[in-house]
Structure formats: structure tokens, C-alpha cells
A and B are shown apart, each in its own frame.
Chain A
């Protein structure tokens, strides 16, 4: 067993601001030398979607879900003040102005810092998302994988 401390985050939400909070905490914990896991379930899975369209075989419902959900971190809306997409544009402007990191770069940095990004396979099935549509280098698992990481964790969050 490793002596490193652990941070585990469940990212359930699919909004830009909430995902940004999750990824900032994850990167901060990695800087604390923690072993960090972000478990993506339901709408949080969209943070792991590739920005480009990936042709995969899908049924009607899966196709519809795929179209209705944001394709990747950059396309997510805000949990507050979304204003039909104006909000995210404004937030991205102030992120640039204040030299903060946009969400896609936070995801990239998390991967560089060896944050374990896990996709919940059960909700992938529900939402019709396939491995090919998600980022490379991530892991796949269910509740047992998450509890396995979290049971001897020090920081655990649900966002």
C-alpha cells in the first residue's frame, strides 16, 4: 500500500463552472502529492468527450443524447447565468483576462499530473457514450472502483 494521501472526486455535474471547480481541486491535490481520482458519472462524463465527432454505431436514443449533450469540456454551459450560451463566452473572456486556466487545459494538466480520470461505464451505457468518443488514457469502472479509491481516501467530494 502506498503512503500517499488520496483525494477522490465524483464529478456528476456537466456544467463548465462545476467541472472547473472539480479540476482545480484535483490539480491542487496533485500538487499536494496526493493520488487523485476523478470519477465521472452522468453529465460529468461530457468533460471527457472528445471535441470532434467520432463516428460510432448508435441507436436512435443514443444518437439523440449524443446531440443534446455538450461534446467536450469546452462546450459545456454554466450552472448559473448561462443565458443561452452568452454566459460561457463571458466566463471564457474573464478567464483569459485573469490568466486563469480554461477547463480543457485543466483537464490536460490533470492528465499530465497523473490524475486518474475514470468514466462510469453504467452511465456511459445510459447516455449512449462509447469509449471511442472519450479522451484517450482514461480508465473505466463502476462504483466498486470508486469506493476502492475512496475508502482509504483523505479528501472526498461530490460535485
Chain B
């Protein structure tokens, strides 16, 4: 299990907030750091996958726990 440098709670937030918060959180991290995101927006999987790809970051892991989608993103 990778160590997250930071955890972003985006639960309950609707589009476009999860991605806006993710961008802000990533700005505070260094290259190689891992951001863990918890979201409930059903679009967050597609949104974050596309955003990570565009920014050149790496999606290390995704998980679903009940209604909560979890993502671990490593900053490029």
C-alpha cells in the first residue's frame, strides 16, 4: 500500500468541484508525491482518469468502497 502524502476529501462535491480541488491540492505537492482522493460524484472516475492523463501524472490505484470512489495519484 502506497503512502499518500495528502488526502483530499471531495465527498459530496459535484462537478466541477472534485477536479478543481484536485488541481489545487496537486499544486501543493512535490513531484513524486501521492494524493489520495475520496469522491462520491459518479463522474469522478472518468474525470480524474482524463485529468491525470492530460497532466502526465500517474493513476497508481483506484478503489470503490460503497458509494465512495478512491484514487491515488502520483504527481509527475
Contact A99:B55 (CB < 8 A) given known A31-B22, A109-B20: no
Q: Report the interface size for chain A: residues with CB under 8 A from the other chain.
A: 13
Encode contact with B along A94-115: 1 for CB under 8 Å, 0 otherwise. 0000111100000001000100
The winner among A98, A99, A109 for most chain B CB atoms within 10 A is A99
Shortest A26–chain B CB gap in Å is 9
- Assess the A31–B14 pair: CB atoms within 8 A: no
Task: Tell me, yes or no, whether A32 is within 8 Å of chain B by CB.
Answer: yes
Q: Return 28 A-B CB contacts under 8 Å, by A number.
A: A24-B15, A24-B16, A27-B16, A27-B20, A28-B15, A28-B19, A28-B20, A30-B20, A30-B23, A31-B16, A31-B19, A31-B20, A31-B22, A31-B51, A32-B23, A32-B51, A32-B54, A32-B55, A33-B23, A33-B55, A98-B14, A99-B12, A99-B13, A100-B14, A101-B14, A101-B16, A109-B20, A113-B20
